[in-house]
Structure 1
Amino acid sequence: MEGTGLIGFLGGIGLFLFGMEVMTAALRELAAERMRRWLARFTETPIRGTLTGAVTTAIVQSSTAVSVMTIGFAGAGLISFSQALSVLYGANIGTTATGWIVAMVGIKLKLGTVALPVLFVASLVGIFGRAGVDRWARFLAGLSLLFIGLDVMQASTAGIQGWITPDRLPGDSWLGRLGLIGIGLVLTMVLQSSSAAMALGLVLLGSGAISLPQAAAMVIGMNLGTTATGLMASFGGSRPMRMTAYANSLFNLGTAIVAFPLLGLMPMVLATVGDEQTALVMFHTGFNLLGAAIFLPVTAQFAALVERMVPERRSTLSAPLDRALIGDEGAALDAAAAVSAGIVQEIAQALGRAVDVPPDLRPLSALPARVEPALVDFTRWMADLRVAPDHGAARDRFVALMHLTDHMTRLMNRAEERPRIAALVDDPVLRRPARALFAAMHRAEPADRMVRLNRLIDARAARYRRSTLLREHAGLLDVPQMLHLTDAMRWLERVSDHAERIAHYREQAQNGLK
């Protein structure tokens, strides 16, 4: 396969970028649920979190996807920020796997020609194949485009040798190395992909357009430049998003500072492996491992520093609904589950205070300003959320959250019926089950307990209804008093029904988070 100079070289980069995007998107869809369970389950210690982040990123070939999952977990309160940091350390290690694939398979074996028939078959299966199989086809199509792009880049290097030569780039001095780091940083920011920048560096190194010390310095810049996209995307985002982006940038900056003095060791690395491209990817993986080893023991202190750097803004119930998460169905569902739980707890707390002894109606008065905007944001979020039809578990969670939307809205409407709440406060017989119900809702009791509580309230309400009718018949109550009490009783029964259904759908919505 022959290229045509600069145009062919740029076309090869484009093919590689597009292939990488197609491949990683298919991998995310294929492995998203499994990866999420790993991230949620195996982050108890910093070392396990780092290993999980590294393995997950190596599998899905996207540190951005792993970062989004991690931000979603942190925003939903499923993992602490310290745990999220350890995953990010691992993601930086795992993303170096792409360099090994490019160096060991793509460049050395030159699979571009073999990839052409694979691309043809994969494209047909991707278009006409059933759901599930089409994702594997898109993965193979993306991988084929990646290898074809590499072949085009390598074939086109002869046409750009006059444009890029080692003597035209900064030399191997301390100042020159800083300049090369800057070139790598800008290159990654332009390409929006550290993997593509790394592939470009390997191709240029193999063609002799750049030397190994120059390539090594550029790789440090590429490693630093990969944080720029996340940093820019975090502006205006939620606090977990901003903290994660800043922490990732600081970690990569610290890693770059550690790696810079190691550039002098490149001749030793080359002597050990005997191949410049292998030496480059080994250097890339090595300084990321070293950076993680340095940061791991001080993760708690590092997390505290970042939390001080990113102050808490005025908290809103819908804060976890960060638009950066909407493209990842798992992270978006996690955020929605967290917000729904917060809304229910807010309503339950206000109702509990309203029937307390003595009653405090201030939280109930503040409820519309706190909850109604969050319900609007939640409804819009659910309307924008897209779940793949064949993702059964995600579909079940989505349906459960839609039911939660209905019951939360109804519960909020019930909370605005002040006369019925006042009747509960005035009657000790009704007040006791009401206080028990709201306390259980605020504690987010399991669904089976809420079922039992709902049955107890229904039984007590039936007895109370009979006694109220008897008292009215005996002349102890007038008709308006009887209607006032029976209305309050029906209100409590309906709220109890909502509470039971909310607990049921909450557990379904949180399925997959544990």
Structure 2
Amino acid sequence: MTANFFFLFGGVGMFLMGMEAMTRALKELAGSNLRAVLARFTTTPLRGVASGAAVTALVQSSSATTVMTVGFVGAGLISLPQAMGILFGANIGTTANGWLVSILGMKLQLGSLAMAALLPASLSTLLGRGAFARAGQVAAGLCLLLSGLELMQTAMEAATGLLRPEMLPQHGVLGMLGLMLIGLVMTVIVQSSGAMVALALVLLQGGAIGLEQAAAMVLGMNIGTTFTALLASVGGSRPMRQAAVANLAFNVITTALAFPLLMLLAPGLLRLGATIGPLNTLLCFHTGFNLAGAALFLPVTTRFAELIERLVPEREADRLRLGLDRALLSDARAALVAAQGGAAVIAGRLFSALAAAMRPEPDYRKLAALAPVMPDALDRLERYLAAIRLPADLRAEEEAYSALLHEADHLRRLLERAEQHGNIQTLFEDRSLRRPAALMGALLGRVAEAGSDRDPARFAWLEEIVDHRAARHRRGLLLGEHAGLYSLAEVFAHTDAMRWLQRSLHHAARISHYDQVARRGVLQQPPPAG
């Protein structure tokens, strides 16, 4: 009997592995289209619901949709009410996974066929290229998912009697709450509500749990799935935290409303189960309360967003600490030192965020965290610089002051470039531009870590390489388009990405240059006599 539990645990692991492989491949196949759908088709909360449901059903992961949405809010691409529509839809879309598992794995019983299809799917993943390889990865992931599901079912059939409904909490408020807690904890641990719903379906089919118990566990799973978005928002900006809290609040309130209905309508649920089957009934319950929750919240989305904004106020940590003490304005040199330090803080944060995004495995969280804090920091720096009054005899300080003004301008321009995330992805999809983009990211990372050691010569060297490669690659793109190798849209996208790389590198170089001029003019000058 111990072996059956090993099969059960192994089946859950195989299911999770298959879901992860399938989700990752589907996201890669969709590429920037997922971002385009979520960023463009969310002009109203209702359209956000449709977009969130469609994307989640496509990639088979509500966590992927919610984390992406939290990042979009932090980047300023969508507002909190728009994001909430997507989050409502993600809860609806995630129920598609349960229907997929029920139809393919339990009704059609394709587990044996999936095992036979796993070899050709794996070979296409290993030997194929591009979209063909990703399609093979999707197929391989689906095969693993269905095989894992069959393994779980086999283990439960062999272990019948070891786990029975009476062994778990029974009817009553406390018992149902206990089952909800079990579902919540299991989902937080496994980080996949889809896998946990599949496990609940297997347990329900095997008679290990009753329909009411499965429904209570599914309610808990709905709350547990919000943990991923909460985790993604840790250390992020205020809008990111607001989106994650809104997702949690929506699921908690929806579950709190569904729980008493479950207690009241349990006899009707059992009668429905006797008619259409317990599996279909559980899935209808799961889809139904998510649809009802979205319908309930849609009319009050704006007010709900305002409530979340009050519950998650701005923290002092959300503002960059620039050290711009206005008491220093009476001493021009001291004020310039403070301004130079503030500009260095802004540059360090911006360089670090771009470095994290410009990697083969990009991390956009730091870039997303810039949106709410960086414009405010630049505004404060510029106001502080405008308030400095230089005496006529401070020639070196005049040069430093001018350099700081130029540095602030280039910081703002680089920030505008940093908001154009799509160009970064295009750079890493282009074999000719991938290496210089990675070099720029590595250089920005080293400069951000070095702090005061910002040698403009490094950027000048890289600028020459990028300019040479960009000119050659631009000609290649035009010839390729003429020969039919590239579409006009691809030529425009890659040309824009090249221009983005060149301009971003130029701004980074000028920031480093003016930082060096300011340090030379202020920090290395002796203090005035007397």
Task: Output the TM-score relative to the length of structure 1.
Answer: 0.70
From the superposition, tell whether residues 243 and 371 of structure 1 become closer, same or farther in structure 2 (CA, over 3 Å).
farther
- Contact 2:411/2:507 (8 A) holds in 1: no
Q: Which residue of 2 aligns with 1:20?
A: 19
Secondary structure at the counterpart of residue 132 of structure 1? helix
Q: Which residue of 1 aligns with 2:461?
A: none
**1:9 lines up with 2:8 in the alignment:** yes
From the superposition, tell whether residues 227 and 156 of structure 1 become closer, same or farther in structure 2 (CA, over 3 Å).
same
- Contact 2:63/2:225 (8 A) holds in 1: no
Match runs of 1:334-349 below 5 Å: 335=367, 346=378
How large is the RMSD of aligned CA atoms in angstroms? Answer: 4.4
Match runs of 1:87-486 below 5 Å: 87-263=86-262, 264-272=264-272, 274-312=276-314, 313-316=317-320, 318=349, 321=353, 332=364, 335=367, 346=378, 350=382, 365=404, 387-388=428-429, 399-412=498-511
Secondary structure at the counterpart of residue 162 of structure 2? coil
**Which amino acid is 1:412 matched to?**
I
**Which amino acid is 1:268 matched to?**
G
Q: For the pair shown, which has the larger CA radius of gyration, 1 or 2?
A: 1
Match runs of 1:38-77 below 5 Å: 38-77=37-76
From the superposition, tell whether residues 409 and 326 of structure 1 become closer, same or farther in structure 2 (CA, over 3 Å).
closer
Q: Shift of the alpha carbon at 1:366?
A: 8.2
Partners in 1 of 2:198 and 2:150 — Cα distance?
Answer: 11
Q: Shift of the alpha carbon at 1:308?
A: 2.2
Q: Shift of the alpha carbon at 1:72?
A: 2.7
- In structure 1, runs of 5+ residues without a counterpart are 420-514
Partners in 2 of 1:42 and 1:31 — Cα distance?
Answer: 16
Greater displacement, 119-128 / 157-166: 157-166
From the superposition, tell whether residues 56 and 334 of structure 1 become closer, same or farther in structure 2 (CA, over 3 Å).
farther
- What's the CA shift string for 1:230-267, capped at 9, x where partnerless? 22343222323222221111111001101101213244
Secondary structure at the counterpart of residue 110 of structure 1? coil
From the superposition, tell whether residues 336 and 278 of structure 1 become closer, same or farther in structure 2 (CA, over 3 Å).
closer
Greater displacement, 309-318 / 64-73: 309-318
Secondary structure at the counterpart of residue 76 of structure 2? coil
Q: Shift of the alpha carbon at 1:329?
A: 7.5
- Contact 1:68/1:328 (8 A) holds in 2: no
Identity %: 44
Q: Shift of the alpha carbon at 1:61?
A: 1.0
**Which amino acid is 2:107 matched to?**
K
Q: Shift of the alpha carbon at 1:17?
A: 0.4
Partners in 1 of 2:497 and 2:408 — Cα distance?
Answer: 26
Partners in 2 of 1:299 and 1:328 — Cα distance?
Answer: 37
Q: Which residue of 1 aligns with 2:339?
A: none
Q: Shift of the alpha carbon at 1:303?
A: 1.3
Task: Output the TM-score relative to the length of structure 2.
Answer: 0.68
**1:82 lines up with 2:81 in the alignment:** yes
Q: Shift of the alpha carbon at 1:117?
A: 2.0
Q: Which residue of 2 aligns with 1:455?
A: none
- The aligned length equals 414
Q: Shift of the alpha carbon at 1:398?
A: 5.4
- Contact 2:72/2:368 (8 A) holds in 1: no
